[in-house]
Amino acid sequence: MDLPLIYHPNYVAPLPPDHRFPMAKFKKLHKMLLEDGVAIASQFHTPEPPPLTWIEWVHDADYVQSYCNGTLDLRAQRRIGLPWSSALVNRTCTAVGGTILTAQLALKYGLACNTAGGTHHAFPGYGSGFCIFNDLAIAARCLQKLNQVQKILIVDLDVHQGDGTAFIFQNDASVFTFSMHCGVNFPGTKQQSDLDVALAEGMEDDEYLQTLAQYLPDLLSEVKPDLVLYDAGVDPHLGDRLGKLSLTDTGLFRREMQVLSTCVSLRYPVACVIGGGYAEDMNALVYRHSLLHRSASAVYRHYRL
């Protein structure tokens, strides 16, 4: 069995071409992974949207129904930052299904990667920061409800704090939330994760990776999760428009190798999502996202999963 990957063939919803959230990157990522020989077509699994009741295990039913039915008020839509469309509803729900499937495949094979996901700014009753439904939180809760896991560790290395995820699990000892992010970035009002590590603006590769190494191994030993959900946002990159950190491509690749090797070597299954990334150069952005899959493929082969 090759490394399991999740692909969303209908993931691009119609949006204004100059919108800050680059939907085109998802299909381009799939294409790059195939063209560069990182993956072959048979490795990809196509997700289905989950039942809305699964989404409502995390989100308020009124919010889920109003968003899916197109009756969400304009103020709430502006807070999300994405114009509503039925295609976007389908994309959003399929993304949630993709992260659930990624988590289930990780339990089966030890490591699996999504080509989307990481909508960590979504709260139970509203969306924010381009995030509508919190796929990480829904996947965690679904696997628990289905009796597939009990304890989950969420490792969120997106440059922005995973505030929605932190809020959702703030009183839940069965899900440990770890967010390492730029301290002076969005969101302006931070929530309290189980562990927050706020980084100084402009931090570069070595200091970043040393900081991560101070926390991750000990967290795994203390939490002993049945599953790690990893948000591998590439917006800590020095070329990111919304980032404020200064990681290079090499630094991002080293980060992915560090996270995945640390988890897999200790036999903790890892489900990965790509998280945020915002750059003028679309090809450069897609390459940065592909570093997760390139490193995952190397780790998967090395440990003969």
Active centre residues (catalytic)? 121
> Which residues partner with 272 through β-bridges?
113, 230
Dihedral of CA atoms 260, 281, 135, 266 in degrees, nearest 10, equals: 0
Per-residue three-class SS string for 140-167? HHHHHHCCCCCCEEEEECCCCCCHHHHH
Contact 272, 98 (CB under 8 A): no
Dihedral of CA atoms 156, 235, 142, 46 in degrees, nearest 10, equals: -140
Cα 177 to Cα 154: distance, rounded to the nearest angstrom: 5
Q: Kindly state the tokens that stand for 201.
A: 């603006």
